[in-house]
Amino acid sequence: MRITRIELRHTKMELVSPFETSLGVERFEEHIIVRVDGDGLTGWGECVVEPTPSYSYETLQTAWHVLKDFLIPGILGKEFDCVGSALAVNGWVRGHRMARAGLEAALTDAFARAAGVSLSAFLGGRRTRIPVGVSVGLQPTTAELLRVIAGYLDDGYKRIKIKIAPGRDITLVQAVRREFPDIHLQVDANSAYTLDDSEMLRSLDDCDLQLIEQPLGYDDIFDHSLLQRQLRTPICLDESIYNTSDARAALALGSCRIINIKPGRVGGYTESIRIHDCCASQGVPVWHGGMDESGIGRAGNVALASLPNFSLPGDISATKRYYREDIVEPAFEVDQDGTMAVPSGPGIGVEVIMERLERVTVHKDDFRSA
Ligand code: SMG
Ligand code: MG
């Protein structure tokens, strides 16, 4: 495939309700939508950066810069026989994984379309439906949290994750457990604690949680190993796993027993699959995280999560959990059994509605080969 055109769009979409975590409150999602054209085909990807360097050190501006000045010039106008050969050209770029993942996603969609297969099949996925869960932000009151969770259980979700933060942790979790004794429940701290909080974290052992996600430092592996030794509940690492090497270190040290995979965080589908395979070979389950993607990113997530070792439900929820109107059709839905269908059409398998994409575009830039 010869890459003839690449387009970047800074998009801004309003969430149906504010999403509060230990990192702050989000009311809008601002991402970069990447479009790659070649051989008469179009591929789409979503770069899950945020305007601020909070969840990740990358920002919308750094990703735009790295895409525009390095990654796009590396491949524009060139001919590639597979995604890997296009990635290899930019292999010298260190870090900036969200920027790389957005471009890899668009390229992979284009190559899957060229092969006439779904992205799921192209990536090695086997399932036609995947188990999904929902991530519930911090709420103004405990009563409101219980009400929101009840609504999601009515929608069919079988796994609930709640966000915790210092002072808004054990009592919240206990209240949720009292109200819903049997649900699959997990918590995500987004690095809000230190080893000084071990006592509170140990008390979570009595709440029958599936896992505790990223309790300690966003780039820590060692302290998590000390904490995991004190806990019966599995720790799941999110922020501190950037690549397969981190995953191997974390598993060897006993820092976690489960890993959350997000292609944006680890630099794309290829590295995600390496981590997936590494965990599978050690009998360690993984699940697919979420970054409040639009339907473009969500379609990619669903496809990746159809691989066999994504055995726990992901943070991949129905479109209506995020946006009143998405930029793709059809919308993603959750069944009463807590599963979501994996699109089977070519590539990401959903249609990008250009008029809606145009409406959420703040700024765009277009790069064409001579
Ligand atoms: O896409 O459903 C989603 C959001 C899932 O909680 C979610 N993501 O740390 O796992 C996480 C957060 C990261 C984004 S909040 C800053
Ligand atoms: Mg997380």
Q: Which residues neighbour 36 within 8 Å (Cβ) at sequence distance 6 or greater?
A: 3, 5, 6, 42, 43, 44, 45, 103, 106, 107, 109, 110
Residue nearest to atom 16 of ligand 1 (CA): 55
Distance of CA 95 to the CA centre of its chain: 17
| Per annotation, catalytic residue among 12, 78, 262, 320 | 262
Q: Give the ligand with the smallest distance to the CA of 188.
A: 2
C-alpha 289 to ligand 2 mean position (Å): 7
Residue in 135, 236, 262, 322 to alter for ligand 1 test, most ligand atoms within 8 A of Cβ: 135
12 is catalytic: no
Give yes or no for residue 190 CB within 6 A of ligand 1.
Answer: yes
pLDDT per residue, tens digit, the chain (370 aa), is 999 999 999 999 999 999 999 999 999 999 999 999 999 999 999 999 999 999 999 999 999 999 999 999 999 999 999 999 999 999 999 999 999 999 999 999 999 999 999 999 999 999 999 999 999 999 999 999 999 999 999 999 999 999 999 999 999 999 999 999 999 999 999 999 999 999 999 999 999 999 999 999 999 999 999 999 999 999 999 999 999 999 999 999 999 999 999 999 999 999 999 999 999 999 999 999 999 999 999 999 999 999 999 999 999 999 999 999 999 999 999 999 999 999 999 999 999 999 999 999 999 999 999 7
Q: Give the ligand with the smallest distance to the CA of 313.
A: 1
One-character DSSP codes across 79-106: B-SSHHHHHHHTTT--S-HHHHHHHHHH
* Structural domains of the chain ordered from first start: 3-116+350-368 (3.30.390.10), 122-341 (3.20.20.120)
Contact 20, 137 (CB under 8 A): yes
- Which atom of ligand 1 has the smallest separation from the CA of 26? 16
Q: Which of 115, 126, 110, 25 is closest to 342 using CA atoms?
A: 126
262 is catalytic: yes
What local confidence, expressed as pLDDT, does residue 370 receive?
A: 79
- Which atom of ligand 1 has the smallest separation from the CA of 293? 1
Residue type, 338: G
Give yes or no for residue 315 CB within 6 A of ligand 1.
Answer: yes
What local confidence, expressed as pLDDT, does residue 272 receive?
A: 98
Residue in 19, 20, 21 to alter for ligand 1 test, most ligand atoms within 8 A of Cβ: 21
| Per annotation, catalytic residue among 158, 163, 320, 364 | 163
Q: Give the ligand with the smallest distance to the CA of 289.
A: 1
What local confidence, expressed as pLDDT, does residue 262 receive?
A: 98
Contact 224, 231 (CB under 8 A): no
- Which atom of ligand 1 has the smallest separation from the CA of 321? 2
Structure tokens at 281: 């070979």
